[in-house]
């Protein structure tokens, strides 16, 4: 229990007097500060003393705000990272498709130039798949009898001869590649006009040039083009580039290997060229026709007696 001392022991002014005094003093200080800026120096001194206390008082709130900002920024960065990663993947797929389309466009433009140069009415075809027999070098294209495709038509891409149409269906055709074993193409060396026959080796994607004498003027790096003497391939189509020449004096013929210039195992599109017009019959064929029995009897009847 709190017991107050008797009023006899009270000292000093009364509470009302003190309240009045401090109120008047505060009003006087405010008037003096407002009119004469009398407390500016005191305010600056107090701000220096209070600044550390104010920083300590603000520290918990600022720390909590910084931690909140850190986690919020972390979540935002993770979300942006996921979005950027997805965008990179989309752009990568688009870039790869654009690269493929650009490559195919260049190939199509090259084939169009070859068609305009060597023949009219070439047929653009898409490679569907390889032949079912894994031991043969053949492909199947999406053009057939309904597209005026005929057996024997030469097939090229933008770099050279791919092969020859050997089997025709209603809606698709089979193309035998130049690298197929025993598939032959009459060729000519661009450097000196030397004629030869390039034959598919059936392995390693190479061509052989058989039956060339060891003294023949042919060397590595020579470019082989179609000679046009077989009435199948137009003259001047790129076929292969000689990669190896072995002229061993112990053998009658040189061993010559060449690599096709065309992408026989590459690309999706090829061009089917019409066969050149039929050439004049060979002399022995014409002589055989003249020796037919019917013609001989008719000639004997008309002969004067």
Pick from 51, 84, 118: which residue ends a domain? 118
pLDDT the model gives residue 120: 57
Q: How far apart are CA 216 and CA 192, in angstroms?
A: 11
Summarised one tens digit per residue, pLDDT across range 116-150 is 555 556 888 889 988 888 788 899 999 999 988 99
How many CA atoms lie less than 13 Å away from 12 in the CB half-sphere? Answer: 6
| 3-state percent helix, strand, coil for the chain, nearest multiple of 5 | 40, 20, 35
Q: With beta carbons less than 8 A apart as the criterion, state whether 156 and 140 touch.
A: no
29 and 102 fall within a common domain = yes
Instruction: Tell whether 129 and 100 lie within a shared domain.
Output: no
Residue 129 placed within a domain: yes
Specify if 293 maps to a domain: no
The domain of 31 spans 20-118
Give me the DSSP letters along 134-145: TTS-EEEES--G
> For residues 103 and 8, which has the higher predicted lDDT (pLDDT)?
103
User: Do 73 and 178 have their domain in common?
Assistant: no
For 66, the token pair is: 């910084």
| Sign, Cα dihedral of 147, 148, 153, 158 | negative
Considering the domain architecture, whether residues 87 and 53 belong to the same structural domain is answered as yes
Whole-angstrom Cα distance, residue 114 to residue 147?
Answer: 20
pLDDT at 53: 79
Question: Is residue 11 domain-resident?
Answer: no
77 vs 80: CA distance, rounded Å: 5
Domain boundary among 83, 99, 118: 118
Mean pLDDT of the chain: 80
pLDDT mean over 210-223: 91
* 162 CB burial (10 A radius; 0-12, 13-18, 19+): buried
Contacts of 235 (CB under 8 A, 6+ apart): 188, 225, 226, 227, 228
Contacts of 278 (CB under 8 A, 6+ apart): 231
Residues 159 and 241 in one domain: yes
Tokens of 197: 């026959």
Q: What CATH number does the domain containing 186 carry?
A: 2.40.10.340
For residue 300, pLDDT beyond 50: no
């Amino acid at each position: 229990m709190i017991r107050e001392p008797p009023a006899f022991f009270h000292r000093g002014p009364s509470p009302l007097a003190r309240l009045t005094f401090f109120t008047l003093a505060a009003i006087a200080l405010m008037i003096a500060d407002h009119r004469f800026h009398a407390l500016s120096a005191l305010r600056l001194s107090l701000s220096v003393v209070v600044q550390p206390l104010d920083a300590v008082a603000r520290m918990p709130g600022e720390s909590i705000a910084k931690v909140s900002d850190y986690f919020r920024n972390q979540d935002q960065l993770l979300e942006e990272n996921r979005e950027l990663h997805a965008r990179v993947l989309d752009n990568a797929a688009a870039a790869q498709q654009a690269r493929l389309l650009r490559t195919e466009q260049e190939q199509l433009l090259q084939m169009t130039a070859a068609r305009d140069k060597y023949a009219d009415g070439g047929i653009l075809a898409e490679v569907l798949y390889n032949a079912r027999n894994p031991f043969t070098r053949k492909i199947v294209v999406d053009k057939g009898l309904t597209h005026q495709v005929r057996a024997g038509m030469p097939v090229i891409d933008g770099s050279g001869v791919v092969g020859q149409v050997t089997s025709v269906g209603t809606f698709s055709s089979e193309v035998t590649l130049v690298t197929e074993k025993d598939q032959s193409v009459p060729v000519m060396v661009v450097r000196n006009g030397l004629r030869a026959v390039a034959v598919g080796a059936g392995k390693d994607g190479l061509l052989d040039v058989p039956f060339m004498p060891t003294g023949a003027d042919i060397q590595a790096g020579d470019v082989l083009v179609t000679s046009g003497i077989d009435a199948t391939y137009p003259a001047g189509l790129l076929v292969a580039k000689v990669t190896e020449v072995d002229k061993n004096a112990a053998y009658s013929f040189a061993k010559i290997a060449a690599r096709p210039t065309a992408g026989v195992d590459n690309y999706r599109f090829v061009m089917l060229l019409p066969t050149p017009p039929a050439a004049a019959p060979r002399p022995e064929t014409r002589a055989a026709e003249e020796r037919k029995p019917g013609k001989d009897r008719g000639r004997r009847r008309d002969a004067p007696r």
